[in-house]
């Protein structure tokens, strides 16, 4: 029992938890981005997609996915807090000299960008899922229904996203958050693979490449929605 407790509290275990949950969250982001990009195909495609997700396995698939996502998110934040606190405790005095080669700007700001992403996710859920902020654009309100080609009436998620991003303040908040997310991923992906021991000489250069590719790809992909709306390319 004690041995289990020691493993549970060990730094390496916490790093594994952070790496594995982080990779799960990246998979969610890629899936979410793919769904969001349907906005460029029009209201029918995006609303049909949202509806099928809600209906999958008689509505239970979305709750299973939400449960898994919540567990991964909580474990990720929890291990990040534990590891940051331990690192601080082990290094009570700030380094006099900073080594700019090994400590990139992104790595030093991981805790801060992570915290801001957490704030963004809470705001995002209040915006699109619960409709408690910017409620005038909420797809769940009466009068915002969309009728699919097969006659099913669904909440007009397409209209909610477009109407929201027509407000420059909302677009600015989203774009800034996506840039932060990109910076966070840029550093996080390489460190996750390092923690998981993927340091093989042939794979390492690929892994180093994957962080910036994912960081820039995810940030640009998500930013393309608010920017296209504000530029009037989708309406």
**Cα distance between residue 128 and residue 88, in whole Å:** 36
Cα–Cα distance measured from residue 151 to residue 48, given in angstroms and rounded to the nearest whole number: 11
Q: Are residues 165 and 174 in contact, defined by beta-carbon separation less than 8 angstroms? A: yes
Q: Does 225 bind ligand HEM (CB under 6 A)?
A: yes
Q: Does 36 bind ligand HEM (CB under 6 A)?
A: yes
Select the residue interacting with ligand HEM from 174, 182, 184, 234 (CB under 6 A). 174
Nearer Cβ to ligand HEM (38/210):
38
Q: Is 161 in the site for ligand HEM (CB under 6 A)?
A: yes
Site for ligand HEM in 107-136 (CB under 6 A): 117, 121, 124-125, 128-129
Q: Token match 């407000």: residue? A: 167
**Gap between the terminal Cα atoms of the chain:** 59
d(CA 159, CA 145): 9
Closest distance between ligand HEM and the C-beta of residue 180, in Å?
Answer: 10
Candidate residues 19, 184, 222, 229; the one interacting with ligand HEM per rule CB under 6 A: 222
Supply the minimum distance, in Å, between the C-beta of residue 15 and ligand HEM.
21
Q: List Cα–Cα distances, 88 to 77, 93, 125, in angstroms.
A: 16, 9, 31
Contact positions toward ligand HEM, by CB under 6 A? 29, 32, 36, 50, 62, 66, 117, 121, 124-125, 128-129, 157, 161, 174, 181, 222, 225-226
């Amino acid at each position: 029992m004690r041995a289990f407790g020691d493993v549970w509290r060990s730094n390496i275990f916490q790093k594994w938890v952070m790496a594995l949950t982080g990779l799960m969250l990246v998979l969610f982001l890629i899936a979410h981005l793919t769904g969001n990009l349907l906005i460029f195909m029009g209201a029918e495609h995006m609303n049909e997609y949202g509806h099928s997700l809600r209906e999958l396995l008689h509505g239970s698939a979305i709750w299973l996915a939400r449960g898994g996502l919540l567990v991964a998110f909580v474990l990720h934040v929890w291990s990040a807090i534990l590891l940051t606190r331990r690192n601080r405790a082990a290094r009570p005095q700030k380094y006099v000299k900073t080594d700019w080669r090994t400590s990139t700007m992104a790595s030093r700001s991981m805790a801060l960008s992570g915290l801001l992403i957490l704030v963004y996710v809470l705001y995002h859920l209040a915006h699109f899922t619960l409709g408690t902020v910017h409620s005038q654009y909420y797809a769940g309100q009466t009068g915002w229904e969309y009728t699919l080609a097969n006659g099913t009436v669904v909440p007009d998620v397409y209209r909610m996203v477009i109407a929201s991003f027509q407000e420059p303040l909302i677009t600015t908040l989203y774009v800034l958050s996506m840039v932060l997310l990109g910076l966070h991923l840029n550093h996080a992906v390489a460190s996750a693979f390092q923690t998981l021991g993927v340091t093989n000489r042939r794979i390492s250069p690929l892994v180093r490449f994957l962080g910036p590719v994912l960081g820039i790809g995810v940030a640009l992909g998500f930013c393309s929605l608010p920017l296209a709306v504000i530029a009037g390319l989708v309406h």
